[in-house]
Every structure is written in structure tokens, then in C-alpha cells.
Amino acid sequence: MDRPIGVIDSGFGGLTVAKEIMRQLPKEKIVYIGDSARCPYGPRSTEEVRQFTWEMIYELLNKQVKMIVIACNTATAVVLEEARIALEIPVIGVIQPGAVRAMQTTKNQHIAVIGTTGTISSHAYTSALTAISEDVQVESLACPLFVPLVEQGILNGQEAEQIVATSLEPLADSLFDTLILGCTHYPLLKPVIEKAMPNHVHVISSGEETAREVSSLLHYHNLNRTAACPPIHRFYTTGEAEPFREFAERWLTINAQNVDTISLKRGLANRVGLKW
Amino acid sequence: MDRPIGVIDSGFGGLTVAKEIMRQLPKEKIVYIGDSARCPYGPRSTEEVRQFTWEMIYELLNKQVKMIVIACNTATAVVLEEARIALEIPVIGVIQPGAVRAMQTTKNQHIAVIGTTGTISSHAYTSALTAISEDVQVESLACPLFVPLVEQGILNGQEAEQIVATSLEPLADSLFDTLILGCTHYPLLKPVIEKAMPNHVHVISSGEETAREVSSLLHYHNLNRTAACPPIHRFYTTGEAEPFREFAERWLTINAQNVDTISLKRGLANRVGLKW
């Protein structure tokens, strides 16, 4: 099936998921929308997150995607279930893949999750993990400075290290063996986060895990792209195109020639792919 | 949903998958059928493998399972696609999860697969891997002695080491960085196999990966068990119950009190869960 996979995020973070999809599924075409103009979603109200996310979903449906990846934890927590009910194409969020992998990895049933204020206060990871096992112990910590840090391109050096170390201090006395990066921006800070953690802690990136789930579900639904020509990816941002392209190329070494600014309109969406 | 997950295999091998499901999904109930009386499936004809596997599937449908895991690579290669078409409940095989994980793991796009003669000559892994990426290089090697070794409980020591090392010799000059254990019996030989491999090779166990896929799909289909009481698992074998119980408890530390011998009958199945 030659239709693209749609990936949406509040900004740059979902690019970590898109990059992993490109790596794990090199034949697949991606359409990416980053809502950089309204990023971050973390501190926004549930209603705003719902509205903005549905605007991006409508845009993806107009672009005839065969699957949607909500590559933003905050948006996943708010919209995933209703999008699965409303849409006929598969919809994947970033919370369940991270939770499933953490359960596969942990040896002491003690897991920590870091994310935005919105994700942490939604208890989405705690719910996902305890739905799997009641014996699992979960620590949650909001790290509201990490997304702004990433969006400004401060991914290493003294400032990044200091902010990360200070933010993670509340977890210092906890005995978890697995840490979930519960925000798609955080893998860009992974080296700095790993440095601030004891050696025995496994750090799980939602991007890698979600890409893996995309791969499984594409096959499960028989949706793999089989066209022989290499895929051409498209990137859209609600912000300025040039900084987006620069970020994608500099920090994610993604070839992002096709970046356009897009304006998302609230209103009647094209109903293709909608059940109602 | 209180209904069990059904797991089938030609013999003991699928217990490695069942054990991982128990570990990763401790709330779920499992019904296991091992066709020990007719094991191994590897050297059998496609028609025999098809018939025996469908007999187990019918038995699981009578037991009201909510999902079926074909925890046998040979049976997956022959029956998975037709079972997915015929059944309304989700059906998971062991080939795709191993292939997806190998694509996630490999750095040099060079993967080796070992399995039974039936699995290797079906080219199921090569097809699954090249469907994902045409740039991947795949070496395949049939290791027909490994299943009999495991079924006899020879899992370590000089004999096991010698047979494993000799069997794997044809791969010695190959530069793969990821090895798929393409048979659910093989994880029981994992320490011996790892010893025979260079240190940098990642060994992927289909059991772990399939359990992870079960976890993802249970959530995707909203089928998780939520009952508060601990699950009681049931085990059936077409062979003798006592050696089965001993094997499960000794080598897999599975509490397998509920083992019964079952006879599988060809003929009209209960059509519950069948689409036609």
C-alpha cells in the first residue's frame, strides 16, 4: 500500500519517532506534522490538547495516510482512545509501547517515568503499567524544563547537564531499574539523562518502541508499502519551515528537504477514514 | 475479559513463550497445548503441519480463548495467514515479532536465522525481513538436532555444547551482528548458543518478543484481563502428562500442576470464533 504513515507531535519531539520509523521501516513514506507554533502541549488544558491534536489528525486524513502515530505523550493521553474509536485506520500512541517494553525489561518490578506535567498528571503510564501488573511499583516525575530545552536545541553541555541533573534529583533515592522517557522530546537528551542515572538503570525511548509497534501493526493489518521506488517524506510545521529543517537535519540527521509551513484550521474535516 | 490466551506448539518449545507471557502479563490466564506425541514438526510435510495445527486451534476455540499464539515457527510459517483470515480473534505467530526486533537491533543490516528444516526451507524469516527492508542481508541455517536435544532435556554440558558448536559452524565466517532463534525450543539452549557465538552478536529470542506482541495486541484490541483473582493456567499435551509437568517445572520453573493428556480429533470443530 503506497499511502504514507502520518506522524504528529506538538513540535520536534515526534521526529525521534519518525527517524526510528525510517530506520526500522526504510520502505515506508512518512507525513509529519509538528505543531511548533503552539508547543509545548504539556502545560495546556485537556481541551486545548484535544482540539489541536484533532486538527492535525484531520489534516493527515486529508493527506490519505494509512495509519496515524500520535508521537506525543500528552496528546496520546488525551486523544488516543477516542481516535481509535472514531477512525477506521490504525492509530498508535507512544504510551503503551513504552509501558510494554518497560515491563519486558524490568527485573525488580520498579519503574520510573519522566514526562511533561500534562502526561504525568494524566497518570497514563501508571495506568498502563498497573493494567498489566498490579505488582509493579511506579515513580512519576514531571520535568517541565526538558521540552523547552530541546526546542531551543540545548541538547548537551553544562546548561543541559545541570538542568537535567537538578530535575531528576527527586528520583535519587528510588530503587527503580528501568526509566521510561515518557516524552518524545527526551530521547534527544538521552546521553545527558543516562549520565545523570546510575549505570544499572535501563533507559527506554518511546521513539524506538513505537516504531517497533508501527512495524508490527503494519504487518498485522497487511499495510506494508511494497513499491520499489524509495519513499519521499514530507514535513509540515505550524511554525517556520527553516528552523524546523535545520533542527531535523542537525540533531536527527534526517534529510528534511520537504518542509512546509501549514496552518491548521478548525472546522469541517474531510470525512475520509472517519467512522461517523 | 476473563477468557484465556491460547498457546500452541509441537511440544515443549512454546513453553518459552508461555513463560514470557506469564512474566510480562502476570494477570493473564493461559491454556497451552503441546503436540508432544507428534513432535518435531520441523521435518514433517506442509499438509501434516497444517492438519495438526488446525486440530490444536479447534481445541483452543472450544476452550473459548480470546487470542491464539502459534508458538511454533514451523506452524506459524504454514498456518498463520490462513488462521488470521478464518478466525475472528487475534492470531499471533512467532516469526514477525522476531523479525521486527532483529530489524530494530541490527546495526549492519546483516542478520542470521537458525531454525528447523521446515522453518528454514519455508524462507519465512527471509521474506519477513526483506519485506521490511530490501537492504538487509540474511543468512539461514537449519539446525535439525536442536529440537530433539531440547525435548530430551539435554540443555547444557559437553554433548549439548558440541552439537551446538558443530551445527553453527557454517555461520563462522559470516559477519552478521544479530542472530534470531527461529524456533521456540532454542531459547532453552540460549546460554550454549551464546557461548558458541562472537561476543558482539545479539541473540533474539522469539519467546520474549512474541510475549511483547501479545501484550501490545491485547491492549490494541482492549482484551486485557482485569479480574482481581490470580490466573490459573492449564496445560495439555498429546503425550504423557508427567514428563511434560517435570520438564515445565525443571527447566522453565513454571508451576505446571494442571497438566492433562489430550487427544486431538480431526473432524468438525466447534465453529465458535470462526468466520466461515
Q: Which pLDDT value is given to residue A276? A: 41
What is the residue extent of each domain of chain A? 5-93+208-261, 95-206
Query: d(Cα B166, Cα B160) in Å, to the nearest integer?
Result: 10
Pairing state of beta strands B30-34 and B67-70? Answer: unpaired
The annotation places the binding site of B for substrate at: 9-10, 41-42, 73-74, 184-185
Using an 8 Å CB-CB cutoff, list chain A residues near B26. 132-133, 135
Predicted pLDDT at A273: 47
For residue A101, the chain B residues in CB contact (below 8 A) are: 212
B272 has a pLDDT exceeding 50:
no
Chain A residues with CB inside 8 Å of B226's CB?
Answer: 131
User: Strands B234-237 and B202-205, how do they pair?
Assistant: unpaired
CB atoms within 10 A of CB B94: 34
Phi and psi at A206, nearest 5°, equal: -60, -30
- Structural contact between residues A223 and A216, judged by C-beta atoms closer than 8 angstroms: no
Contacts 24+ apart (CB under 8 A), A154-160: A155/A188, A155/A189, A155/A192, A155/A251, A156/A191, A156/A192, A160/A189, A160/A192
The CA–CA distances, whole Å, from B138 to B64, B121, B175 equal 39, 13, 10
Residue A173 identity (one-letter amino acid): D
User: Smallest CA–CA separation between A188 and chain B, in Å?
Assistant: 18
Which CATH number describes the domain made up of B5-93+208-261?
3.40.50.1860
Instruction: Name the region of B235 (left: φ>0; alpha: ψ -120 to 50; beta: rest).
Output: beta
**Grid coordinates given for A72:** 506525543
Alpha-carbon A155 to chain mean position: 17
Q: Kindly list the distances between the CA atom of residue B193 and the CA atoms of B114, B140, B165, in Å, as whole numbers in the listed order.
A: 11, 15, 8
Would the pLDDT of B98 be above 50?
Answer: yes
Give the nearest partner residue to B215 out of A100, A208, A215, using CB atoms. Answer: A100
Residue B180's φ and ψ, nearest 5 degrees, are -95, 125
Cell of A126: 501508571
Check A212 against B133: CB less than 8 A apart. Answer: no
- Cβ contact B72:B44 at 8 Å: no
Cβ-based interface (< 8 Å): residues of B facing A: 24-27, 96-97, 100-101, 103-104, 128, 131-135, 208, 211-213, 215-217, 219-220, 224, 226
pLDDT tier at B269 (50, 70, 90 boundaries)? very low
Q: What is the pLDDT of residue B271?
A: 44
User: Which chain A residue is nearest to residue B92, measuring alpha carbons?
Assistant: A220
Yes or no: say if B50 and B26 are a contact pair by the CB < 8 Å rule.
no
CA distance A73 to chain B (A): 17
Q: Which residues contact B271 (CB under 8 A, 6 or more apart)?
A: none
Probe site for chain A from B20, B81, B92, B215 (most A CB atoms < 10 A)? B215
Residue B252 binned pLDDT confidence (cut-offs 50, 70, 90): confident
Interchain contact, A132 vs B24, CB within 8 Å: yes
Q: Quick check: A103 and B215 CB within 8 A?
A: yes
Residue that wins the pLDDT comparison between B228 and A137: A137
CB atoms B25 and A134 under 8 Å: no
Higher pLDDT, A118 or B27: B27
Which position has the grid cell 508499502? Answer: A225
Model confidence at B266: pLDDT above 90: no
A130-134, B186-190, B266-270: least confidently modelled range: B266-270
Model pLDDT, residue B274: 52
Q: What is the pLDDT of residue B232?
A: 93
Contacts of B96 in chain A (CB under 8 A): 216, 219-220
Give domain B95-206's CATH number out of 3.40.50.2020, 3.40.50.1860, 1.10.3470.10, 3.40.50.720: 3.40.50.1860
Q: Is the peptide bond before B144 cis (omega within 30 degrees of 0)?
A: no
Class of residue B117 by CB neighbours under 10 A (exposed 0-12, middle 13-18, buried 19+): middle
Average pLDDT, chain B: 91
Strand order of the β-sheet with A110-115 is: A137-142, A110-115, A178-181, A202-205
Active site (catalytic) residues of A: 72, 183
Asked whether the domain spanning A95-206 has the same topology as the one spanning A5-93+208-261, the reply is yes
Place of cell 528534511: A256
State the residue for C-alpha cell 531528576: A168
Contact A216 B25 (CB under 8 A): no
Average confidence (pLDDT) over B43-51: 92
pLDDT the model gives residue A268: 45
- Mean pLDDT per 10-residue run, chain A (276 residues)? 94 92 94 94 90 96 96 92 94 94 94 93 93 93 93 92 96 95 93 95 91 92 89 95 91 87 70 46
CB B143, CB B179: distance < 8 Å: no
Q: Which residues, 6 or more positions from A217, have their beta carbon under 8 angstroms from its beta carbon?
A: A67, A90, A92, A223, B220
Interface test with A, best of B70, B104, B134, B136 (most A CBs within 10 A): B104
* B193-211 burial code (b ≥16 CB/10 A, e <16): beebbeeebbbbbbbbbbb
What is the rounded distance in angstroms from the CA atom of residue B154 to the CA atom of residue B159? 8
If DSSP states are collapsed to H, E and C, what string results for A159-171?
HHHHHHHHHHHHH
Q: B39, B72, B143, B229: which is the annotated catalytic residue?
A: B72
Across the interface, of A26, A208, A216, the residue whose CB is closest to B213 is: A216
